Amino acid sequence: MEAEIEFIPEGGVTSPEGFFAGATCAGISKKARDKLDLGILFSEAPCVATGLFTTNRIKAAPLVLCQQRLQQGRALAVVVNSGCANAFTGGKGLTHATEMAKLTAEGIGILPEDVLVASTGVIGLPLPMKRIRSGIEQVILSRNGGHELAKAMMTTDTLAKETAVAVKKDGNKFSIGGVAKGSGMIHPNLATLLCFLTTDAAVEIDFLQSALKKAVDISFNMISIDGDTSPNDMVLIMANGLAESEPVSSGSERADAFQQALEQVCIYLAKCIARDGEGATKLIEVTVVGAPGLAEARLAARTVVTSLLVKAAVHGADPNWGRVMAAVGRSGVEMVESKTDLYIGDIPLVKAGRPLPFSKRSVIQLLKGREVSINLNLNLGSGKATAWGCDLSEEYVTINSRYMT
């Protein structure tokens, strides 16, 4: 029987059984004193846990701590702050991250080793530990605290990013929830900024790792806002088994359902991040088919969605399709001009390399929408991939020329 997968209305990271969260306004950033900026996620039952981390050579202190602690393959809580990345902060950074975990553990009454830490915000500044300490004391955990946590993780995000799905498969039920934050320094390179995933399914650690990698590859690794990857990027997943379904392991009947549901959550959150890119006014979806292979399809789709000129043209609803072709052309992917087809939405602009006459008005109308889809067929093979990004607006520049000052 096919698995039934349904999005849970108002779902989030605490939708799965046994997960609690909460947040507070610790006053970490001077810019937004009344913003939620410190949160905690906690599972009342022990979790199998794993994560994926930035490929940036500079690794933020909390990330280093998480990588160490996840070697044990389990965790009970995550503490997260926005407003300061605790990256490029030397040995002090690791001391601070370790203290954040310890204080969180003491507050809940668990071992410090079972607490993971994440930070996001300005690079190179030390954490204001006095504020962090009193902040951690103030957090109250609740079963629907996921929404507060989502808000506490936001920096330049304009919308909280959270979702959950309920899965039914052969009489087994479980759910998967997730929360993420963008919205600058976003570029596909293993993991992308902060995302915490939770599930009440029981999952074997090896399968959890491979399922996460697969889901991240087609979601967070396929979005780009600005081509910059952050030293703080991480995707964490915690599975507490409280749904009392049979354990999900590789090759088991539930494995496909779990994988599919996890991918839906990740793609949903990845699209939320792309759509809410700094200064963005619309989501761009680029699908490449007919590439020589999967890797080529991925690279071509990502290159188009990353091109500043494509992004700016979409922003201005300018049907300058030559920029899409130029981006594929420089991507390094094999392409043959006389074989390439290009569509904006479902309107064909180029067929077998020949520019077609098209209604400029109709194309501009499509480009003016909140979601713009660009579809390419290289007609060379069976490689297929989709990437997501956003338009480039004047507002992006304004945000990023005044981030620190």
Chain positions contacting its own copies, by CB under 8 A = 55-58, 85, 87-90, 122-125, 184-185, 187, 189, 226-231, 306-309, 312-313, 315-323, 325-330, 333-335, 337-338, 350, 353-355, 364, 392-394, 396-405
Q: How far is the CB of 96 from its own copies (least distance, A)?
A: 14
Q: How far is the CB of 335 from its own copies (least distance, A)?
A: 5
CA count, 13 A, side-chain hemisphere, 361 = 0
- Cβ closest to its own copies, residue 46 vs residue 329: 329
Beta bridge partners of 23: 39
Q: How far is the CB of 264 from its own copies (least distance, A)?
A: 29
- Using CA atoms, how far apart are residues 395 and 398, in angstroms rounded to an integer? 5
281 is a catalytic site residue = no
Helix (H), strand (E) at residue 275: helix 253-275
33-43: b or e for each residue (b if 16 or more CB lie within 10 Å)?
Answer: eebbbbbbbbb
Q: How far is the CB of 393 from its own copies (least distance, A)?
A: 6
User: Hey, what are 358's tokens?
Assistant: 């098209």
Identify which of 191, 258, 244, 222 has the alpha carbon closest to the alpha carbon of residue 3.
258
- Cβ closest to its own copies, residue 230 vs residue 245: 230
Q: How far is the CB of 139 from its own copies (least distance, A)?
A: 27
DSSP 8-state class, residue 147: H
Q: How far is the CB of 270 from its own copies (least distance, A)?
A: 19
**Strand 347-351 relative to strand 19-24: parallel, antiparallel, unpaired?**
unpaired
Q: How far is the CB of 229 from its own copies (least distance, A)?
A: 4
- Cβ closest to its own copies, residue 219 vs residue 340: 340
Q: How far is the CB of 320 from its own copies (least distance, A)?
A: 4
Tell how far CA 305 is from the center of its chain. Answer: 16
- Using CA atoms, how far apart are residues 349 and 212, in angstroms rounded to an integer? 37
Q: Which of 104, 192, 198, 303 is catalytic?
A: 192
User: Hey, what are 327's tokens?
Assistant: 């981006």
DSSP 8-state class, residue 119: E
Whether residue 335 contacts residue 342, with contact meaning beta carbons closer than 8 Å, is answered with no
- Cβ closest to its own copies, residue 30 vs residue 402: 402
Name every residue whose Cβ is closer than 8 Å to that of residue 239 and which is 6 or more positions away in sequence. Answer: 47, 48, 49, 198, 199, 200, 201, 202, 203, 208
Identify which of 312, 311, 339, 337 has the alpha carbon closest to the alpha carbon of residue 325.
337
DSSP 8-state class, residue 8: P
Identify which of 172, 238, 226, 203 has the alpha carbon closest to the alpha carbon of residue 40.
238
User: Hey, what are 118's tokens?
Assistant: 């994440």
Beta bridge partners of 354: 351
Residue 85: phi and psi, rounded to 5, are -80, -15
Task: Give me the amino acid identity at 331.
Answer: S
- Cβ closest to its own copies, residue 97 vs residue 167: 97
- Cβ closest to its own copies, residue 106 vs residue 337: 337
- Cβ closest to its own copies, residue 136 vs residue 378: 378
- Cβ closest to its own copies, residue 96 vs residue 151: 96
User: Hey, what are 312's tokens?
Assistant: 């700016």
Name every residue whose Cβ is closer than 8 Å to that of residue 228 and which is 6 or more positions away in sequence. Answer: 184, 185, 186, 187
List, by residue number, the catalytic residues: 192
